[in-house]
Amino acid sequence: MNLMDILQGQVSDEMLGQLSDHIGAEPEQTAQATNGIFATLLGGLANNTSSEGGLSALGNALDRDHDGSMLDDLAGMVGGMLQGGGQDSRATNGSGMLNHILGDRQEVAAEQIGQSSGLSAGQIMKLLPILAPIVMSVLGKAKSSGGLDLGSLASVIMGGAQQGQQQGGMGDLLGNILGSVMGGGQQEQQSQQGGGLLGSVLGGIFGKR
C-alpha cells in the first residue's frame, strides 16, 4: 500500500480511455503520463510543505475544499471537466491547484513528463488540471478520515513523493523538474515516517491493494 498505488487506483480503464481520447493519445502513453503527473504533483506538494507556512496553507485548503467526497463519483467529475466544466468550484479548479503546487514550473513539468511518456507538452498541459483535483481529494480524504495532523500529513506526502520518485524513470524526472527538493536528512526522515503511516492509516481508509 502506498500513495502512488492509491492515486493510480483511482484511474479506471474507462477513465483512462476518456483521457486518452481527450488528448489524442494511446492509453499506454496516457497511463505513463498520468503516473508522471501524480509523482510530480506529490513532489511539488512535498516541496511546499517543507515550510511551516506552506504546510499550514495546504491543511487549510484540504479542510475547506477537499473532504474526499468527490472520489465517490470521480467518473462524473472527470466527465464534467472534460466537457469544460468544474473550474468554478475550488474542489475541482485544477488550474488554481497547479498554480499553488507547481507555480511557474508547470511548463517545465509538462515538457519533462511529455519526454518520458512520448507525448507533447501541450497534451500534458491538458491532463494536469484534470488530475490535480484527484491528488487533493485523496489527500483530503486521508486527512479527514485518518485524523492526520499537519506533521503526519507532511510525512505521508513526502513518503508518497519518494515512492513516485522510485518508480521507473521518475527519479530523473522529478530531479529535472524540482531540483534538489527530494534530498536532505529531514525529508528522508519524513519519508520513513510516511511509509509507516501509509501502511497503518491509508490502508484502512482506501482498502488494501
Residue pLDDT, tens place only, 104-123: 889 989 998 999 899 999 99
The span from the CA of 187 to the CA of 155, in Å, is 8
Domain ranges of the chain: 3-206
Q: Which pLDDT score, from 0 to 100, does residue 196 have?
A: 52
CA distance between the termini of the chain: 6
Phi then psi for residue 146, to 5 deg, are -90, -5
Find out whether 140 and 91 touch, Cβ atoms under 8 Å: no
Going by pLDDT thresholds of 50, 70 and 90, the confidence category of residue 37 is: very high
CA distance 172 to 176: 6
Q: What are phi and psi of 175, to 5 degrees?
A: -60, -40
**Cell 483511482 found at:** 10
Alpha-carbon span 61 to 55, nearest angstrom: 10
pLDDT > 50? residue 177: yes
